[in-house]
């Protein structure tokens, strides 16, 4: 009889931990996705992205310099939106990594 209670307790606690983990991941990941999408929309409203990409050099070695120059020659709003986009992308990558890590890490009973 005690074994059944222990198994039930293990199952319930495993589910509680999973729900707690999902709530943490979903809230941070959702915020990161919403921030990313909003910042990308703002960049699209402020900059004609297709023209920037048309002016990009064909040689990959010159791309970092081109994008740095393009970034430094834009307005403050676009610079803030680009930084916000990169930060939200990093947060999203971090949350996805944490989710994979928690799934593949064995739990202690």
pLDDT digits (tens, 9 = 90+) for 93-103: 998 888 888 77
Q: How far apart are CA 84 and CA 81, in angstroms?
A: 5
Report whether pLDDT(1) > 50: no
Give the span between the Cα atoms of 104 and 101, in whole angstroms: 5
Average pLDDT over residues 24-47: 88
Residue with tokens 């990161």: 32
pTM of the model: 0.67
In contact, 63 and 10? CB cutoff 8 Å: no
CA distance 96 to 88: 12
- CA angle 100/105/106 to nearest 5° reads 145
Average pLDDT value for the chain: 87
pLDDT of residue 99: 80
């Amino acid at each position: 009889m005690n074994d059944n209670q222990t198994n039930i307790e293990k199952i319930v606690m495993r589910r509680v931990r999973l729900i707690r983990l999902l709530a943490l991941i979903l809230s941070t990941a959702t915020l990161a996705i919403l921030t990313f999408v909003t910042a990308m929309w703002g960049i699209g409203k402020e900059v004609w992205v297709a023209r920037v990409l048309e002016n990009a050099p064909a040689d990959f070695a010159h791309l970092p310099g081109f994008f740095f120059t393009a970034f430094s020659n834009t307005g403050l709003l676009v610079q803030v939106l680009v930084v916000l986009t990169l930060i939200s992308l990093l947060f999203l990558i971090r949350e996805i990594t944490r989710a994979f890590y928690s799934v593949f890490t064995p739990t202690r009973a």
